[in-house]
Chain A
Amino acid sequence: MDPTDLARIQFATTTIYHFVFVPVTIGLAFLVAILHTQWYRSGDPDHRRLTRFFGTLLLINIAVGVVTGLVQEFQFGMNWSAYSRFVGDVFGAPLAMEGLAAFFLESTFLGLWIFGWNVLPRRVHLATIWLVAIGASLSAAFIMAANSWMQHPVGYTTNAQTGRPELSSIGDLFTNPVFVWGYVHVILASLLTGAVLMLAVSAWQLRRREHGELFHSSVKLAIVVLVPVSILALGVGSHLGVVEAEYQPMKISAAEAQWETCQPCSFSLFQIGGGRNDETPTQLLEVPHLLSLLATGTWNGQVEGLNELQAADVQRYGDGNYVPNVFVQYWSMRVMAYLGSLIALLALWGAWLLYRRKLAVSRVFLFVATWSVLAPVLMNTAGWMLTENGRQPWIVQGLMKTADGVSTSVSTTELAISIGALVVVYVLIGIVYLFLMLRYARRGLELEHADDEPAGDPPTPAITY
């Protein structure tokens, strides 16, 4: 394998792994903040126990999310030095802003929240968890602005001497339509992920515990959040598809394995074949007009075929293969959309049971809800594969190819060492993470110490770590 492939494998592996924890952090932080607010308002010790129960899961998750995020910060320079030199003027700014405006906020107030029980005034302590949630979702805004610039470069001029893009309007980076819709989509997906986790844990507790009644309020909160969020995520996601189809037509046509231009276009639910060397896939279950609707937002819209797009790109950029991996595009799109639809149905089912007051006795629902915890991980991963694989062969759409962005001074041996080391570390940490998450998700609420007493005078924090 050549160094570019290895560098891509490393970046994809570490980023996908990191993004297992990011949406849980963002989503669950908001939900824990809501639980904490409920406790603040009611003063009910049960709400405090719930806040601390889900807070513990949030903290275990953040621990892994933070350290895997460190790798992301340095990896651009390590593995993609040519890329970093080329785009640093534009791409570096949102990254630096992310640290200054979001990471500091998130990490400092997280420390204050963890150690602030019985130390900070109750109102101030409540504010700290909200600031953690805001910090986490702000950091996503900056990194999405940077990523969206790679999908659809805006707000730059090309320096005639160096040939590098230089930032000319920071406002354009944050009004980039790919960013606006992509960011909303990511936040919705994160809330969905957090809500599904809370739903799954609460469902397990309701199913297994004799005294699981306390989890009624968390199951209710999860479903109340999940219903609108899962439906909106589908709608926003499909609009994001229309936006991307305008700037990255290859991405969307590849997601449909649409080799020839069509109008109107039908959407295939399943197909056999259709990869790089198979332009006549066997399509099963077609829905007329649906692809036109998804890709252009109109009933009879025209979707350009990959062959036409390839010919146009060759004319514009010179010889080369500009078609992304069609198999990955086609199936990542479907895994994301199908699971997303199933989660929306699950949410509606739960809402119906809640309305009928039958949720706690519906063994089938509780069983399905417990296992649904796996769906967001697959959906989020598939969504990122769709959007990043669909950008290939470009690292910055139309400006720089991935193969030109890699560090030339990093050898294949060094890459093999780093991939090996990171995979070993990530697997070991993943095992500990799962062990601790399962252990603390299955724990009964009654085991929580009711340390409501002030810890001393002056108030000192409890020994937490």
Chain B
Amino acid sequence: MGLPELWFVIIAILWTGFFVLEGFDFGVGMLHRVLGRTDRERRVAINTIGPFWDGNEVWLVVGGAGIFAAFPDWYASWFSASYLAVLLLLVALIIRGVSFEFRGKVDGPGWRRLWSGTLMTGSLVAPLVLGIALGDLVAGLPIDADGEFTGSFWDLFTPFGLWTGVTLVVLCLVNGATFLGIRTTGELRERAHRAARLIGWVGLVVVAAFAVWTLVVADHGWAPILPLVVAPVALLVSIGAVHRERDSSAFLLSATAMACAVAGLFAALYPQVLVSSTDPANSLTVANAASADYALKVMSVVALIFFPLVLLYQAWSYFVFRHRLST
């Protein structure tokens, strides 16, 4: 395995990590107003992700910056092609990010409703857009020989991209519900259980269809098969764990389903990084989009030093805030 391949794997890990971690806080963001009936319950729901969401979002920033550094052509083509979609993603992340801090700062029902609304909207739109954009990488976009996008905004809505977006949103919802299950008590926790079961069954169908579709679209290699088979199975077992009120298992299993879905997508993409629907010869690949060896070597060393550190202190922060919050 050469350095470009290593960096493809690192980027896949970063994006998978992002969806596993930020996935549940997107889910809590979408669910907090539905599952929380009183303002107190809604605040508790938000506070379950309070210490984590910002650190989780950095996985996306590093995932993006990693693509910039390791595969500049991929970064340039993907984000300029998805221009308005990325704009929508940014607006969603902006209004969502400020709502955590802003919502609790003024005590009034209108104010709280406003920032609950932005939190929900942002938490829904961000994974949807990211899912569409990731699906587009596999499904292909009209890209010319210079790596430039030749299509229009509507070309971004590939059927497979849309389904990827829906899949990730549903998985975020399930993860949000199972996460609330491990961090809340009483009625809020029971409602989270109900939501996890209900959305879990819907998610099972969605994820199974996604797994089959991905294997059909990416008609090469065996690598995606394993994660894409595991994803729906993990989700099914997770629903069972919710039934038996095994909260930790339920969350770990639904997180596994998310991890496998995203990892399967990246496995299906490899060795390409952005498929050209115009002409397969225009597709960006790990080989033709990568930076030179020296830059990749430097970043590998930096990643080797800092990535384990990051995992350690992030894990520690999850350990510190492991207890349930009571309503």
Stretch at the interface among A63-71, A211-219, A269-277, A392-400: A63-71
Stretch at the interface among A32-40, A182-190, A300-308, A402-410: A402-410
Given contacts A109-B313, A114-B50, A115-B50, contact A95 B105 (CB under 8 A): no
Whether A167 lies near B317 (C-beta < 8 A) is no
- The residue in chain B whose Cβ has the minimal distance to the Cβ of A424 is B91
Contacts of A82 in B (CB 8 A): 76
CB of A133 closer than 8 Å to a CB of B: no
Measured CA separation A64–B100 after assembly (Å)? 11
Whether B43 lies near A463 (C-beta < 8 A) is yes
- The residue in chain B whose Cβ has the minimal distance to the Cβ of A115 is B51
Q: Mark A153-183, 1 if CB is under 8 A from B, else 0.
A: 0000001000000111010000000000000
Measured CA separation A440–B103 after assembly (Å)? 14
Distance of B258 from chain A, by nearest CB (Å): 20
Contacts of A407 in B (CB 8 A): 76, 80, 83
Given contacts A88-B76, A409-B149, contact A100 B62 (CB under 8 A): yes
Given contacts A108-B55, A418-B87, A463-B325, contact A63 B50 (CB under 8 A): no
Q: Please tell me which one of the listed residues A66, A68, A81, A101 contacts residue B79 in the complex, with CB atoms under 8 A apart.
A: A81
Given contacts A77-B80, A425-B91, contact A464 B298 (CB under 8 A): no
Contacts of A79 in B (CB 8 A): 80
Given contacts A88-B291, A408-B148, A429-B98, contact A67 B317 (CB under 8 A): no
Whether B307 lies near A92 (C-beta < 8 A) is no
Measured CA separation A414–B154 after assembly (Å)? 13
Distance of B202 from chain A, by nearest CB (Å): 29
- The residue in chain B whose Cβ has the minimal distance to the Cβ of A142 is B65
- The residue in chain A whose Cβ has the minimal distance to the Cβ of B69 is A92
Contacts of A91 in B (CB 8 A): 68
Contacts of B77 in A (CB 8 A): 81
Distance of B96 from chain A, by nearest CB (Å): 8
Q: Mark A408-420, 1 if CB is under 8 A from B, else 0.
A: 1110001001100
Contacts of A440 in B (CB 8 A): 105
Distance of B95 from chain A, by nearest CB (Å): 7
Measured CA separation A204–B56 after assembly (Å)? 38
CB of B198 closer than 8 Å to a CB of A: no
Given contacts A60-B105, A66-B97, contact A410 B62 (CB under 8 A): no
Main secondary structure of the interface of B (DSSP, over half): helix
Contacts of B240 in A (CB 8 A): none
Given contacts A78-B86, A104-B62, A111-B317, contact A432 B295 (CB under 8 A): no
* Chain A 427-465 residues near chain B, CB threshold 8 A: 429, 432, 436, 439-440, 458-461, 463-465
* Chain B 37-59 residues near chain A, CB threshold 8 A: 40, 43-44, 46-47, 50-55, 57-58
Distance of A400 from chain B, by nearest CB (Å): 13
Whether B68 lies near A417 (C-beta < 8 A) is no
Whether A461 lies near B51 (C-beta < 8 A) is yes
Measured CA separation A183–B94 after assembly (Å)? 27
CB of A137 closer than 8 Å to a CB of B: no
CB of A99 closer than 8 Å to a CB of B: yes
Whether B79 lies near A74 (C-beta < 8 A) is yes
CB of A284 closer than 8 Å to a CB of B: no
Whether A95 lies near B80 (C-beta < 8 A) is no
Question: Which of A81, A82, A87, A96 is packed against the most chain B CB atoms within 10 Å?
Answer: A96
Q: Please tell me which one of the listed residues A70, A104, A168, A410 contacts residue B90 in the complex, with CB atoms under 8 A apart.
A: A70
Q: Mark B286-327, 1 if CB is under 8 A from A, else 0.
A: 000001101100110011001100100110010011011110
- The residue in chain B whose Cβ has the minimal distance to the Cβ of A77 is B79
CB of B268 closer than 8 Å to a CB of A: no
A-B contact pairs, 16 of them (CB 8 A): A74-B64, A77-B68, A78-B80, A78-B83, A84-B76, A95-B68, A97-B299, A100-B303, A101-B302, A104-B306, A105-B313, A167-B298, A409-B148, A414-B84, A440-B105, A461-B51
B residues touching A (Cβ–Cβ < 8 Å)?
40, 43-44, 46-47, 50-55, 57-58, 61-62, 64-66, 68-73, 75-81, 83-84, 86-87, 89-91, 93-95, 97-98, 100-106, 147-150, 153, 291-292, 294-295, 298-299, 302-303, 306-307, 310, 313-314, 317, 320-321, 323-326
